[in-house]
C-alpha cells in the first residue's frame, strides 16, 4: 500500500483492488447482478441489484477480511487474529481465518442475535460475549490483542479491508459496463471507499452514492467538518451500518471520490426490506437494503442504469418479522387499532362483521375485559389488520366510525 506524505494515512489504489481480486479468486463468489423491473419502472431507467447478500457468510465482509488476513506475515498468523462485531464482520473473519488456517477469536455483544453467534462459531471462531454495545466489545477485543499479540482485524479502517471490498466495484463494471450510478450502504465507509477507488479510476463518469440511516449518519457532519466526527447516538434497525464515527482511511477516500452521501428513514428501510422480499425474492437485512431505500425515497435523483449493492442478508428471524410488519405499516398495508365496545354477547362478532364488509383481513385480536380503566359494561379490543394501502386504511376507519365505534389508538 502507498502512504500519503500529507497525513501519513495509507491509501488504496486500483492496482490494490485488482490484486485483491486475484487473491479472492476461488474464495469469494462473483455474486449475481439481478434486474429489478419494479425499481426500473419507479426510477425510469434500468436498475440492477448486486446480490452480496448471497455471498459466502451472507455479506461482502468476507472479501476484506480474507485479503487482510492473507496479507499477514507468518509470525502474525501464528499469533492469531481477533475481531469485534455484532454479526457480518464476525462471520467474515471467522471463515477467512478457517480457510487460511489461522486461529480467530471474535468478541460479540451479549445481545447479539443467536443465529449470528452460532454461525460465527460454526465457521471456527472462538466466540466471546462481552459488553452490551459494540463499543464495549471493541475495547475488549483491542485489550485482548494487546495482551496476547493477536492481530486486530478492523472492520473497515484498514487499506487491505478496503481493497478487498473494492472487488465488488470491479465486478459491477464487468457485469454492467454501461452503469451510470452505483448506490452503496455506508457505515464506517470501507465498502463505498473500495468501490469508489476502482470505479472512479476506470469510469470517472460513474456517480457513486453512499447511503446512511438517518439515526446513524456520521458521514454528513464529518464531510461538512472535513474530518471524521462522532455522532452522539446511533439508533437504527440497520445494525450493519450503525457506526458512530467514520474510519480515518475510508473517510479520506469518501471525501475525495464519493459524489454524495444520502440518508434514509426507518420507514424507507423497512419498506425496502419488504420490497426485496416480495418483488426480488431476496432476504436482505436493513443495512443491505439501504440503497433500495434511497431509490424508493427519491427515485428521480438517480441516472440509470443504476446498480444498488445489497450488501448483506444476515437478519435475525424475529427482527425480520418486526421489520416486515413495520414496512407493511409504512405502506398502509398493516393497521393496528384500539377501540371500546359494550361487553355483551355477540359484540365482538358484530365488530368483525363490520371489518368483513370493508374487506379488512384480521391478523390478531386482543380482547381485554378486566382493565380498571374500563367501565363495568365495557371491553377494549386491539385489532391488527392487513389492509390494501392508505386509502383502504382510511376506509376502514370511516366504516368503524359510521358503525358507532370510537377508535382510541
* Residues annotated catalytic, as ranges: 61, 311
> How far is 62 from 97, CA to CA, in rounded Å?
10
Which residues, in sequence order, are CB contacts of 272 under 8 Å at separation 6+? 264, 284, 286, 289, 290, 292, 293, 296, 327
Given CA atoms 111, 117, 53, 152 in this order, what sign does their dihedral have? positive
Contact 228, 253 (CB under 8 A): no
Run of H or E including 347: helix 347-357
Which residues, in sequence order, are CB contacts of 30 under 8 Å at separation 6+? 171
The reply to whether omega before 305 is within 30° of 0 (cis) is yes
- E-strand ranges in 203-313 read 207-213, 260-264, 306-310
Radius of gyration of the chain (CA): 24
**Parallel, antiparallel, or unpaired: how do β-strands 47-51 and 306-310 relate?**
parallel
Please identify which residue in the block is written with the cell numbers 365496545.
341
> How far is 323 from 286, CA to CA, in rounded Å?
8
Cell of 312: 448483506
Contact 203, 60 (CB under 8 A): no
Classify residue 4 by burial, with Cβ atoms within 10 Å: 0-12, 13-18, 19+: exposed
Please identify which residue in the block is written with the cell numbers 446511533.
234
Amino acid at each position: 500500500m502507498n502512504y500519503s506524505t500529507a497525513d501519513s494515512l495509507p491509501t488504496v489504489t486500483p492496482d490494490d483492488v485488482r490484486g485483491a481480486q486475484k487473491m479472492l479468486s476461488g474464495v469469494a463468489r462473483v455474486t449475481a447482478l439481478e434486474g429489478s423491473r419494479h425499481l426500473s419502472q419507479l426510477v425510469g431507467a434500468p436498475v440492477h441489484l448486486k446480490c452480496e447478500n448471497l455471498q459466502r457468510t451472507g455479506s461482502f465482509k468476507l472479501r476484506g477480511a480474507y485479503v487482510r488476513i492473507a496479507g499477514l506475515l507468518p509470525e502474525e498468523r501464528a499469533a492469531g487474529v481477533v475481531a469485534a462485531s455484532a454479526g457480518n464482520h464476525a462471520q467474515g473473519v471467522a471463515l477467512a481465518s478457517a480457510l487460511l488456517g489461522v486461529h480467530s477469536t471474535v468478541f460479540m455483544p451479549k445481545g447479539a442475535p443467536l443465529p449470528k453467534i452460532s454461525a460465527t462459531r460454526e465457521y471456527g471462531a472462538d466466540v466471546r460475549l462481552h459488553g452490551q454495545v459494540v463499543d464495549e466489545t471493541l475495547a475488549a477485543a483491542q485489550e485482548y490483542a494487546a495482551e496476547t499479540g493477536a492481530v486486530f482485524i478492523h472492520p473497515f479502517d484498514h487499506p487491505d479491508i478496503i481493497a478487498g471490498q473494492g472487488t465488488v466495484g470491479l465486478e459491477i463494471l464487468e457485469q454492467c459496463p454501461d452503469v451510470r450510478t452505483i448506490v452503496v450502504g455506508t457505515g464506517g465507509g470501507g465498502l463505498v471507499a473500495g468501490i469508489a477507488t476502482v470505479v472512479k479510476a476506470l469510469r470517472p463518469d460513474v456517480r457513486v452514492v453512499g447511503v446512511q440511516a438517518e439515526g446513524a449518519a456520521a458521514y454528513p457532519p464529518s464531510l461538512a467538518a472535513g474530518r471524521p466526527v462522532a455522532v452522539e447516538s446511533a439508533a437504527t434497525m440497520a445494525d450493519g451500518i450503525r457506526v458512530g464515527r467514520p474510519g480515518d482511511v475510508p473517510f479520506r477516500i469518501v471525501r475525495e471520490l464519493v459524489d454524495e452521501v444520502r440518508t434514509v428513514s426507518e420507514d424507507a428501510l423497512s419498506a425496502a426490506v419488504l420490497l426485496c422480499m416480495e418483488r426480488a425474492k431476496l432476504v436482505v437485512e436493513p443495512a443491505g437494503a439501504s440503497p433500495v431505500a434511497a431509490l424508493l425515497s427519491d427515485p428521480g435523483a438517480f441516472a440509470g442504469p443504476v446498480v444498488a449493492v445489497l450488501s448483506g442478508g444476515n437478519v435475525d428471524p424475529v427482527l425480520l418479522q418486526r421489520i416486515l410488519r413495520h414496512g407493511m405499516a409504512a405502506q398502509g398495508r398493516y393497521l393496528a387499532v384500539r377501540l371500546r365496545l359494550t361487553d355483551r354477547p355477540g359484540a365482538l362478532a358484530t365488530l368483525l362483521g363490520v371489518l368483513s364488509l370493508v374487506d379488512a383481513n384480521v391478523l390478531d385480536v386482543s380482547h381485554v375485559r378486566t382493565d380498571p380503566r374500563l367501565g363495568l359494561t365495557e371491553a377494549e379490543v386491539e385489532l391488527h389488520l392487513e389492509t390494501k394501502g392508505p386509502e383502504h386504511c382510511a376506509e376502514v376507519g370511516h366504516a368503524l366510525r359510521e358503525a358507532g365505534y370510537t377508535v382510541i389508538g
